[in-house]
Amino acid sequence: MSRQYTGSGDPGRSLALMWRTLPAPTRKRSTRLDPDRVVAAAVEIADAEGLVGVSMRKVADRLGVGTMSLYSYVPGRAELADAMLDQVYGELPDPAGAGPGWRARLERAARSTRDLYRRHPWTLEIATGRPLLGPNAMRRYERELCALEGTGLPDVEMDAVVALVGDYVHGAARGAVDADAAERRTGISDQEWWRAHAPALERLAGAGAFPVADRVGSAAARAYGAAHDPDREFEFGLARVLDGVAALIGARAAGGAGPEDPR
């Protein structure tokens, strides 16, 4: 994958683009263009070709305009990538729709975010270590924090829980996206690939040298029909992460230290 970093252009101009506060251009604008159309066209290209496929020229070609005309609406490619990421965050539903209870809401947020990564795999190519918070990113953060409001967690731990769940989903989604890409590239499913190659692996590694790996791997293969199942692994891991959050909330409600808290 190519790698893009949020804020690698002009962060101030990225924020202005995301919040749609860029100053009006000095020259006449095309009536066929606006920032929403430019960003949407770039997202369509990225969905089809990955982030590396997005260039100002390709966006202009898709919109049927000259490349230079885009710069009246978007400062450059780096700022465009920041706006693309924030735009797709707008697809995330409000986790409050899952009903009452912090756990149901965080589960919905986690699954919705994983689905978004799979619809837009290029989002995993953007490193967000220094996030630029556009309106949709702020809305997402607000909603996920609201899922924890009233649990008794202090504010800093609410923030940490949201980050914990987000980091887990990001890592798990990468495995699922890789599996999706392998199936598209080869034209065969994981199950088909495993059935074709498992006998050779069993001959090479199944002679007793790795007894625990052989036993556990064989059990997993029977259960999954493949070397692994990203969907089942995601659900198992998400449940364990939320179990840990539940233990923390329970400890805070009891007035004690949380799990693994050194106090």
CATH architecture for the domain at 4-89 = Orthogonal Bundle (1.10)
In degrees and rounded to multiples of 5, residue 4 shows phi and psi of -120, 145
What percentage of the chain has pLDDT greater than the value 70? 93
Tens digit of each residue's pLDDT (9 = 90 or more) over 163-216: 999 999 999 999 899 988 888 889 988 788 878 877 887 777 766 788 898 889
- The DSSP string of 75-114 is --HHHHHHHHHHHHHTTPPPGGGG-SSHHHHHHHHHHHHH
Q: Identify the three-state secondary structure at position 261.
A: coil
Whole-number pLDDT of residue 197: 79
Sign of the CA dihedral running 199, 203, 205, 206: positive
Tokens of 16: 């202005």
CB 5 within 8 A of CB 130: yes
Q: How far apart are CA 227 and CA 233, in angstroms?
A: 11
* Confidence at residue 1, expressed as pLDDT on a 0 to 100 scale: 45
Return the pLDDT at 77. Answer: 96
* Token pair listed for 194: 């495993």
Query: Following CA atoms 126, 171, 48, 91 in sequence, which dihedral angle do they give, to the nearest 10 degrees?
Result: -80
Alpha carbon of 125 to those of 1, 46, 137, 252: distances in Å? 6, 11, 17, 37
Q: Read off the pTM.
A: 0.89
Q: Tell me: the pLDDT tens digits for 72-99?
A: 999 999 999 999 999 999 999 999 999 9
pLDDT digits (tens, 9 = 90+) for 86-145: 999 999 999 999 999 999 999 999 999 999 999 999 999 999 988 899 999 999 999 999
Q: At residue 2, does pLDDT exceed 90?
A: no
Contact 114, 63 (CB under 8 A): no
pLDDT tens figures, 228-248: 889 999 999 999 999 999 999
In angstroms, the CA 234 to CA 236 distance is: 5
What pLDDT, on the 0 to 100 scale, is given for residue 160? 98
User: How far is CA 130 from its chain centroid?
Assistant: 15
Structural domain boundaries in the chain: 4-89
